Amino acid sequence: MAVGVFDLLHAGHLHYLEQARELGDHLTVVVAHDETVRKRKHEPITGHELRGRMVAGLKTVDEVVIGNPPDVPIFDILPVVKPDIIALGYDQDHAETAIKDALIERGFVDIKVTRVAGLSDDLDGTRKIISRIIEMWNVENSVEDV
């Protein structure tokens, strides 16, 4: 199982999901619910249904599930997905030890948690891509016609 927002799908997402897929024989991706994204990160650029469709279109992904809204405990998705492994992205702000402890506390003792390596590219994150676009736009629009 891999989890994420997947707003503005990019090479870093693909790399994460390819690595997650290599950990097992079936990859289910949980795409964050819009309300969860709003509460924990930012206003989503695209809605969770469209983000889910885009992720489902990747050949490395077997199944997509839309995550629960933020008022539902995050671990409630596990009986639906039934993962053997939870793959965390290199830049996800989750503490592996805390997740492992919480899984054990909730009776999910057989689920492994692993962090995958990042892409060695400077545009491997949505915020990095947006910043680069803004930077390029500013450069292009700061030149005055003489």
Average of per-residue pLDDT across 9-27? 93
Domain count across the chain: 1
Domain-located, residue 31: yes
Domain coverage including residue 64? 2-119
| pLDDT number for residue 146 | 45
**CATH code of the domain containing 28:** 3.40.50.620
For residues 24 and 8, give the distance between their C-alpha atoms in angstroms, rounded to a whole number: 26
For residues 7 and 61, give the distance between their C-alpha atoms in angstroms, rounded to a whole number: 16
Average of per-residue pLDDT across 39-66? 95
Give the helix/strand (H/E) hosting 136. Answer: helix 126-142
Average per-residue pLDDT for the chain: 88
Q: Is the whole model's pTM more than 0.85, yes or no?
A: no
Asked if residues 29 and 65 have their Cβ atoms less than 8 Å apart, the reply is yes
Residue 65's DSSP bridge partners are 30
Domain-located, residue 107: yes
CA 130 remoteness from chain centre: 17
